[in-house]
Structure formats: structure tokens, C-alpha cells
Chain A
Amino acid sequence: MYKAGSYDVIVIGAGHAGSEAALAAARMGCNTLLTTLNMDNIAMMPCNPAVGGPAKGHLVREIDALGGEMGINTDKTCIQMRMLNTGKGPAVHALRAQADKQLYHVSMKETVENQENLTVKQLLIDKILTSDDTVTGVQVETGEIYESKCIIIASGTYLRGKVILGELNYSGGPHGQRAAEKLSDSLKEIGVKLMRFKTGTPARVDRRTVDFSKMLIQPGDEDVHNFSFMSDIETREQIPCWLTYTNENTHEIIRSNLHRAPMYTGIIEGTGPRYCPSIEDKVVRFAEKTAHQLFVEPEGSHTNEMYVQGMSTSLPIDVQHAFLRTIPGLENVEIMRPGYAIEYDCVDPTQLKPSLEFKAIKGLFSAGQANGTSGYEEAAAQGLMAGINAARIIKAEQPFILTRAEAYIGVLIDDLVTKGTNEPYRMMTSRAEYRLILRQDNADLRLTDKGRQIGLVNDERYNRFVTKRDDIEKTLNLLSETMITPTAENQAKLAALGSAELRTGTTLYDLLRRTEINYDGLREQFGLPDISSAVKLQVEITVKYEGYIKKQIEQVERSAKLEAKMLPEDIDYSQIHGLAGEARQKLGKIRPISIGQAARISGVTPADISILMIYLEQERRKGEN
């Protein structure tokens, strides 16, 4: 067999997970190969033209703080940004960008192609090669072999992908790409358990056939935002989106064609996500709703294609045309690409360790949609972590694992490997129990130090972070050290800020707690130094939400003790006296790394946890003897 090359790490798939994985491994010094079945689909966005939103935007900021690429690439190429949820509290403020799909791809392609230690090749991988439950390399469809010590599967929706559009269905990936037909079998051969999921996308329509005068404009924010803590972009063209609604006529057309919907005819077998049902699904499940909203969003600045968000469908073309044309502004719409559904194989993520390495196969990792998630951001986050952990194996270092208290990335991966998922998993802020701590504004404060230790944070990023952290500390100290007494002069200053009079002396720190007072007000009245808006934001949140944040920090500290109690990898749960049958079976399957993780497995009771602790103590003492 022809050996075409040898690498430390091979990444299969160059989507959002694969790109991050390959960049991380290469940047950490590993000789890395990134494979894609089409050089023109690197970091392709086959669904919505957007990055971010609640929880997803948080993930992007975390990826950035750890030295990933998604934030920087989005900032460089996006055509609109908005901060969502500004009225709902700092923990859930969420940045969302409209992406230029083509530019996003081009820019990421350029980045991966020029990365030191990284080789990019168009290859369709058919087979994972292993020896003694350890990966040795991959085999390409054309027969050649690439050797490697670690392999990261980032196969997205391409594993035995099947596109379904009305009565038509064929094997393939999204947007006319090829499917990876043989890799599934190879995975099964080495003992990997696969699931079958489904997702869908709406039609893309021709901008010139849309009447925007009948829709509501959705402009970007006037303030310019950036995802990356490194981006200094101050001006950006903001292309608007458009809002319109379906009506009873739309629903009637859909209802009378349900017999032709693959969802209901049984052609679709995969499990679809509840959070992005197709329009046919919405009309059936929420029959009482007389209108559903939809956004018409540009796919980029060099195309007339527009994405019809909210109208994901796999109904036949004639039905898609008919129902779209009942919608105000779309009366004469022409479809450029129809909506469709896609079914694909993915890995049951409970087979993975929290490092995203397979428990049973050394050196094999899996990330992104291949792990049953949904969304570019979820994929990128896992890709980054898989890339980091593959590199750490090469460098003989311990896995890098983020906890639920440290990052949304930690919540995401812990949920996947501990609980698994039975539908495409989407990140939501309500999944994070320590939401007030895991804000998008403090992702750098939470994670930059860690990124530095891993080796992904360069000097420039690190220095910027240290300056910011020091400024925050200095300002907080200044505020708590500055005492204001109830003099006539100070009372007048407070009146100017629209705030109540002082009764006794107080610090500026305590004054800042008042709802109506912000840092700029204090600065003007009490002559404080000017600070950057990022520092100001941290200071204000720290002071104003102190009580709530403290509560969550206490919760974290309590559970940290359980998280720190590690369970040995080779525990034989069937031999532990007293465990309940269900706990025995679940613990044996999930193989948690800590008591904390064990406690989150459904079916493992507090008594089982007590018994595990007794067992650990027993083993420890045996070790002493």
C-alpha cells in the first residue's frame, strides 16, 4: 500500500470543527493534516448566514479567548452585528453577526492554508486504521494511506449523508457536496456506535424578486461590536435583514400538502431538533398560531441569494413556491436554491471522554456535528478542544478539560459525554447553571490564562489581557477606597446624577450599586480617570450584580469539591459492593472522570455517590498499606 505521508494529527473534515481543530493542533506545534472532500467548502456555512446569538455568541467569545479563529474570522468578514438581549441582564447579552458566507469561507481557507505546521489536502477518507485499539492512520478512497498518532473526526453531516427534497432523495452532503459513504462502516468496524440525525434548511431566494417595502427592516446596531478580544474594527457596513410573517393562506397550502412532506411520509427516519422544526412541523404542532415570523437575510455582499429564516422545509418545490408566494413581500419570489432536509450518521457522544477522545480507541477524537450537535459555534468549540487535546497527547500532556463553572464549552462537552443527546444538541444559556459567571463579556478573564498555558495565546493577546485585568482591579480598588461624605458639594453632585442624598459617608463603590448611577456619571462628578469601555463594563457588572454573582460563586465552590475527587480510569464498577444495578451499568458505560461528573449521570443516586466515596477511601487506604 502506498504511504503518502505521516503526521502527528489528521483532521477529517474542514468545516467549523475541523478548521479550529487543525489550527489548534498546528499552532501547538504538531505536524497536522487537514483533509476535506472539497477545497471549496472549507468553513462552509450550509445553513443560516449568522454567527452568535444567546449561548452561541458566548461560545465564540470563549473560543477566541482560548486562541481560536472563529471570532476573528467573523469580525473580518461579517456584514452586520447586533447585541441581543440588552434589556435582559449582562449574563445573557448576546452578540450576533450576519455572516458573508463566501467571505467567511475564503478568509478561513486563507488562514488554514497559511498556517505553519498545517497541510491542507482534498481527500475523501474511507477508513480509520487502528492497531491494538490505537489509531495508526487513515486510508483515502484512492487507496493511499496517511499515518498519524491522532485522528479527529469532524465529519459534520457528511457521514452517509442523504438529502431529501419532496419526493426526491439522494445520497450527498449539503449544497451538492459528496457524502462520505464508507467512513461510517469503518467506524462501526472499530466498535463505534452511530446514531442517525436529521436537520434541514430553508430556501434561498433571489433578492431582486423580494418586495422589501412590505417588510420591516431589521438594521444592525449603530455601535460597532467585535467578537474577538483582539479585533479593533471600528467601522463596518451594516446590511439589514427583513422581517415578515406567514398567514392562514400559507398554512393552508402546507396543511393540504402534508401528505407529500417527507417528514410525514416516512422517508425521513432521523431525529430532528425540536428547536428548529421545519415550517410544516410548526404548522402541525402549533396549529393555533395564525402567523409565524420569518426573517429574510442576505447571504453575503456579493450575491443576490437571501436566506428565509424560519421556513426550513423539505416539501416539494411546487409547494415551496406556492407557500412562499403567500407571504407579504414574497408574492413574486423566485427560489434560487430550494429548502431540503438532510439525514446523516453521527457518533453517540457518551462514547467519548471529556477530552473528546474515544474511551475505547486511543488517539481517536470526534468533534462537532459528528457528535450530535447543531450549529457552527458548537462545532467550532468542540473542534478547538479536540485539537488541543490531540496535541496534548502528542506532547504527552494531561488532557485540557473545562468545567461547567468555567465555560459554556465545559457545559457543552459535559452534557454530551455525560448525558448524551437524542436530538441535534443546541447550546442555550438555560443549560448553564452558573450563567451569571459565564458571561460573554468576561470570557477573556475566564480563559485567557488557560489559553496561555496551553500555548495558544500569543504575547500580543496576553499583554492586552493583562492590561485589561490590571485596569479592572485598579479601578475597583480606587472605587472602594474613595470615601464620599455628605457635604453640600457632594449632595449637589449626586443631585446632578439624579440620585438620592447621602445620609452618611459612603464609598464610590457603594454609590455605583445604585441603579441610576454608572461609571461615567461618577467620573464626571468625582474626577475619576477615563477607562476603556471594556474595563468600564466589567467594573459596573462586578459592582451592580455582586450579590447574585457571589451566590453563584458559592454554589461553584461547593460543587468544586466533588469535581476535584477524581475516579481512576480503570475502576471496575461491577466489583463495587453496594452500588445499585442501574448505577453500576450507567457508571460502567459513561466512566466519569470525577465524583462530580458521576453525580450528574441520570440514575446515579446520592447513595451511590456515597458508596463511591467510601470505595475511593477504601482503595486509598489499601494503597497505603
Chain B
Amino acid sequence: MIQEDTISAVATAVGEGGIGIIRLSGSESIKIANKLFQGYRGKKAEQLESHKAAYGHIISLDNSVVDEVLLLVMKGPNSYTREDVVEIHCHGGPIPLRNILGLTLKAGARLAEPGEFTKRAFLNGRLDLTQAEAVIDVIRAKTDASLRMAVGNLSGQLSEKIRGLRNDILGMIAHLEAAIDFPEEDIEEIAAQDVEERVKVVRQAINYLLSTANTGRILREGLETVIIGKPNVGKSSLLNALLKEKRAIVTDIPGTTRDIIEEFVNIGGIPLKIIDTAGIRETDDVVEKIGVEKAKDFINRADLILMILDASKPLEEEDIEVLHLLKDKKAIILVNKSDLPTVINLNEIQDRLPGKTVLKISTIEGSGLSELEKIIADMVYGGQVQQSDGTFVNNVRQVELLRQTDNYLLEVLHTISAAMPPDCVVVDLRAAWDKLGEISGDTVGEDIIDQIFSQFCIGK
């Protein structure tokens, strides 16, 4: 939002192989590239000629080589945004892209907002007036998608963890603030030492999350793929077949898969994050109902939907309802149990979803699965499915926000050990609380004041 910031983002779609580009724009971009890039014969980014690609390496802060790259410096105003732009062309896999993007942030860039390059291009006069509406559409669409992803990408467990940490911090802030704003009320003052202890506990938790970031769930990017279908239609069997191992419990009892299972599978070089859900079915079963509602959410945020129908049963009202939900989505309809006599009307399905692939499979016999893999790969490489920037970027974003939160908390500890008063301690506590809120998507409202009044009895 602030024009003078230097922004950074992955400019290409994420996939295995090929080339990936990280793009920086803003007055600091060359300076940031300087810190990360080591060119042929020790050339620095600032020594490079504008608009000429240079070969070299991206070096991490501990001086190890991260990737072999081409660096392209485009000095403003002769660039897309009319600002100094630097492009780092690296290998296209998610890992180098993620690492390099992370490094640019550490070196002082800010993660670009959705559509921000285009916005800058317009505000700086690069795009003409007739393109304004198109620019707005880009911002709107990308933001809505990434907002969905930002929250959607948080697993329930992680967001609960973050909210918990945030609450711990809020409790401290409210206590300190209540004592400041109501000095004549009998509010027991919170000792600096207590704040110190509690901040240390929060930092431990954050550092644990950060340490798992590279292997753990926050950074496990992939094309978000959801498997939906009624109970016992073969969702878990499909997942198992794709995974080629037994993971989800597969039984004949409808609704056995109570929890949503997330797994990763590599199909033709594309990392797929597959989410298996309990069946979409209006049900009185409380346990399963939660699963159903979640699945509806998943449809809305998934990159790709695999809808499974039972070939041995006719289409029911609820199937049609779900098919309707898929109209504007990237979806493949799988008709399972092709080993049994076919009762379902395939033409009706195709009529309801023109243009969508309807594929007969049998998870028991294993038929149709290699075709499915091929179709998915074609859809991705053919450009039909594009991974939302959200999933991928969001992981980097979360790590960056956690890191910043931790820095603020470290500042709190410095403030306390320098024997500074509570009004100084609160400054960084509040900043830490705000940062965690950005991860969980919780907005700042009257929370602090609400907390003060619910926690302390204050009167006149």
C-alpha cells in the first residue's frame, strides 16, 4: 500500500522444472539484489547494465549457494512499474522459489500484495487510462483469491495455535494497559519479570513453528486438490490408490472417514495436496456434519476438485446439487466402481457439466487411474489449472510474519532488561500481536479495550 516500499513476489506459476522468476520492484530492489547476488567474476547487481541478463548465484546469508540464476536489472523508468525492477530467474521448483523469495524479504523487501505490480504500473503512468478498470479487476480477483487462500491454507491446528499465542499476548497487553489507564483502580500490577517469562514461553512456541517450517505443514505447498463424494463412494480408496499405500481407513460403512485427511502426492512432477473429506451429505450425525460443511468450504478454495460418483447407483438429488456447485470450478468427475454394472446415466452428468471430463475408474481394479494422472498433468501444463499464488506465497508469508513477530518479542525482552517502563514494553508487544493477527486473518478491532473491560472491574 505504501508506494515507496520495495516489493517482491514470484512472477511465474509454481511447478516442477522449468524456470521460475522472482520479481522485485522499488527503489531498494538493486540494493537488495546486491546482498543476494554473486555474479560471474564477483560482479554485483549494481554493476550490471540495465536490461541485460547476467549469470551468477544467489547466496544465502550464511554464504552458501542457494541456486544458479540469471539476474535481470531493469532501471526505472524503463520497466513495467517505472521503478527499478530486478528479476531473478532461477530453477522453477517450489523450493528454490520459496528460498529466494524468503531471502529477498529478509534483505528488506515486502511481499507484494495481490496485483501490486500492476497497480504500481498504473499509478506510475505506465498503463493508460483505458486499462484502469482492468487493473482494478486484477486487484479485486487476486485479492479475493488470496484472502481465501490465506485463511484457507491455515490448518485448523495451526490457526488455533496462533490464536492461542495471540491471546497470551493480548492478556499481557490488556493487563499492562489496564494498569496504565486506570491507575486508581485496584488492579494488581503485572511485574516485568512475569511479562518476561510469558514472552519467553510465546517465543519458544513460535520458534518451534519456525523450526518445523521447512518440513512441516506450513510449508508443504502443492496444488490444492479436494476429493468429494458421498460416503462409501470410494474417496479414500482413490486417495490410497494415488498414494499407493493404505492411509485412510477404508471400510464399507458409510462415513468412516470422519476427519479430513491431507496427503501429498506427486503426479507427473506436480505436487498435489489432496484433501479427502467426509461425504457431502445433509446428515444429522454431528461428527459427520462438520466434515460436510468443511468439504463445501474446500470446494470453494481448492485449485482442483475430484468429484466421485458411484456407477452402480442412479444420480440422486444431492449429487445433482453438488454437480451444480462445480459448474465454474476446475473439476474432474470420476465415476467409480466401473467393475460393477453401470446404473448411473453418464450422459446426464456430461449434459449438466459441459466441457468437464467425466472418467470411469475402478479403485478396486486400479483401472482409469493412469488416465486420471495424465488428465491432471494435461490440465496443469495446458494452463487449465493454475495454482493460486496464495497457497505457495502464503507459506513464505507465514514464515516471514512469524519471524517478524519473534523479532518484536525479542525487542520486548530487550526493553524489559533495559528496565524501561511499561509504555515502552507495550509498543513491541502490540506490534507482535498485530503480526500474528495477519497470519490468522484476525483483524484489529476494539479487542484490547474489550479485553480490559472483561478482565478488570473498573468503575466510577
Contact = CB atoms under 8 A, between A and B. Distances in A.
Contacts of B453: 274-275
A54 B181 contact: yes
Contacts of A454: none
A435 to B, nearest CB: 6
B75 to A, nearest CB: 23
B180 A610 contact: no
B389 interface: no
Contacts of B419: 515
B181 A610 contact: no
Interface string A276-293: 111101100110010011
Contacts of B122: 614, 617
Given A54-B180, A55-B181, A94-B183, A88 B136 contact: no
A309 B422 CA distance: 27
Contact of B427 (A275, A548, A558): A548
A371 interface: no
Contacts of B179: 88
A188 interface: no
A607 B457 contact: no
Contact of B139 (A47, A310, A561, A610): A610
B460 A309 contact: yes
Given A87-B421, A277-B459, A610-B1, A430 B183 contact: no
Contact of A89 (B418, B421, B449, B458): B421
Interface string B166-205: 0000000000010111111110000000000000000000
A57 B135 CA distance: 48
A92 B460 CA distance: 20
B452 interface: yes
B139 A578 contact: yes
Contacts of A613: 119, 123
B114 interface: yes
B133 interface: yes
Contact of B423 (A91, A281, A515, A614): A91
B125 to A, nearest CB: 8
A154 to B, nearest CB: 22
A430 B449 contact: yes
B186 A88 contact: no
A606 B143 contact: yes
Nearest to A551: B427
A301 interface: no
Nearest to B128: A621
A515 B459 CA distance: 36
Contacts of B129: 618, 621-622
A618 B132 contact: yes
A292 B457 contact: yes
B395 to A, nearest CB: 20
A310 B460 contact: yes
B113 to A, nearest CB: 6
Contacts of B452: 430
B113 A429 contact: no
Contacts of A293: 185-186
A436 interface: yes
B403 to A, nearest CB: 18
Contact of B422 (A88, A515, A610): A88
A428 interface: yes
B93 interface: no
A602 B445 contact: yes
A419 to B, nearest CB: 8
Contact of A430 (B3, B123, B180, B443): B180
A614 B424 contact: no
Contact of B133 (A54, A88, A436, A578): A578
Contacts of B3: 561
Interface string A28-58: 0000000000000000000110000111000
A309 B186 CA distance: 13
Interface string B407-434: 0000000010011111110010000000
B457 A610 contact: no
A545 interface: yes
Contacts of A523: none
A617 B124 CA distance: 9
A295 to B, nearest CB: 7
Interface string B111-141: 0011110010011000001001101110110
Contacts of B420: 89, 545, 548
B243 interface: no
A609 interface: yes
Interface string A546-580: 00100110000010011000000000000001101
Given A610-B119, A610-B139, A428 B181 contact: yes
A89 B422 contact: yes
- Of A54, A276, A312, A614, most buried by chain B (CB within 10 Å of CB) is A614
Contacts of B443: 602
Given A54-B183, A561-B2, A618-B132, A89 B459 contact: no
B448 interface: yes
B184 A295 contact: yes
Nearest to B453: A274
Interface string A84-111: 1101111110100000000000000000
Given A54-B183, A430-B180, A605-B143, A577 B2 contact: no
A607 B143 CA distance: 6
Contacts of A615: 132, 136
A484 interface: no
A91 B424 CA distance: 9
A611 interface: yes
A54 B187 CA distance: 15
- Of B133, B143, B423, most buried by chain A (CB within 10 Å of CB) is B423
Nearest to A613: B123
Contacts of B119: 610, 613-614
A431 interface: yes
Contacts of A276: 458-460
Given A430-B452, A435-B423, A614 B143 contact: no
A578 to B, nearest CB: 4
A599 B2 CA distance: 12
Interface in A229-287: 274-279, 281-282, 285-286
A202 B135 CA distance: 60
A537 B133 CA distance: 55
A87 B116 CA distance: 46
B2 A429 contact: no
B129 to A, nearest CB: 5
Interface in A66-97: 84-85, 87-92, 94
Contacts of B113: 606-607, 610
A312 B184 contact: no
Given A606-B143, A614-B136, A85 B183 contact: yes
B459 A436 contact: no
A562 to B, nearest CB: 7
A274 B446 CA distance: 13
B180 to A, nearest CB: 5
A36 to B, nearest CB: 25
10 contacts: A84-B183, A275-B182, A289-B457, A428-B177, A430-B448, A545-B420, A548-B424, A606-B1, A613-B119, A614-B119
Interface of A: 47-48, 53-55, 84-85, 87-92, 94, 202, 274-279, 281-282, 285-286, 289, 292-293, 295, 309-310, 312, 428-431, 435-436, 515, 545, 548, 551-552, 558, 561-562, 577-578, 580, 599, 602, 605-607, 609-611, 613-615, 617-618, 621-622
Interface of B: 1-4, 113-116, 119, 122-123, 129, 132-133, 135-137, 139-140, 143-144, 147, 177, 179-186, 415, 418-424, 427, 443, 445, 448-449, 452-453, 457-460
When A and B form their complex, which 5 residue pairs have the shortest distance between CB atoms, in order from nearest?
A89-B421, A276-B460, A89-B423, A578-B136, A607-B143
Given A436-B423, A562-B2, 15 more contacts: A48-B460, A53-B184, A88-B183, A89-B423, A279-B459, A282-B459, A289-B457, A429-B181, A431-B449, A548-B424, A558-B2, A578-B133, A578-B139, A580-B140, A610-B1
